[in-house]
Structure 1
Amino acid sequence: MATEQQSFARTLRRQSTKPEVILWDLPRARRLDGLKFRRQQPLLGYTVDFLCFERKLVVELDGRQHDVEREYDAARSEEIERHGFMVIRFGNEVVLNDRDAVIARIREAAGTAPETPLL
Structure 2
Amino acid sequence: MKRLNVDSARSLRAGQTDAEQWLWHHLRSRRLLGWKFRRQHEIGRYIADFVCPDAGLIVELDGGQHGEQMIYDERRTLELEAMGYRVLRFWNNDVLKNVEDVLEVILEALARPAPHPNPLPDGDRD
- 1:6 match: 6
Matches within 5 A, 1:85-100: 85-100=85-100
- How high is the sequence identity, in percent, across the aligned residues? 41
- 1:18 match: 18
- 1:48 match: 48
For 2:99 and 2:68, how far apart are their aligned partners in 1? 25
* Amino acid in structure 1 at the alignment position of 2:105: R
Q: Does 1:33 align with 2:37?
A: no
- 1:116 match: none
TM-score by length of structure 1 reads: 0.90
Unaligned stretches of 5+ residues in structure 1: 113-119
Runs of 4+ displaced beyond 6 Å: none
1:11: how far off? 0.3
Matches within 5 A, 1:97-108: 97-108=97-108
- Deviation sequence 1:23-72 (CA, Å, 0-9, x none): 11111000001011000000011000000000000000000110111000
SS for the counterpart of 1:27 is helix
* Amino acid in structure 2 at the alignment position of 1:58: I
* Amino acid in structure 2 at the alignment position of 1:97: K
Q: Does 1:109 align with 2:109?
A: yes
* Amino acid in structure 2 at the alignment position of 1:43: I
TM-score by length of structure 2 reads: 0.85
Q: How many residues align?
A: 111
The CA RMSD measured in Å over matched residues stands at 1.1
For 1:56 and 1:104, how far apart are their aligned partners in 2? 17
SS for the counterpart of 2:54 is helix
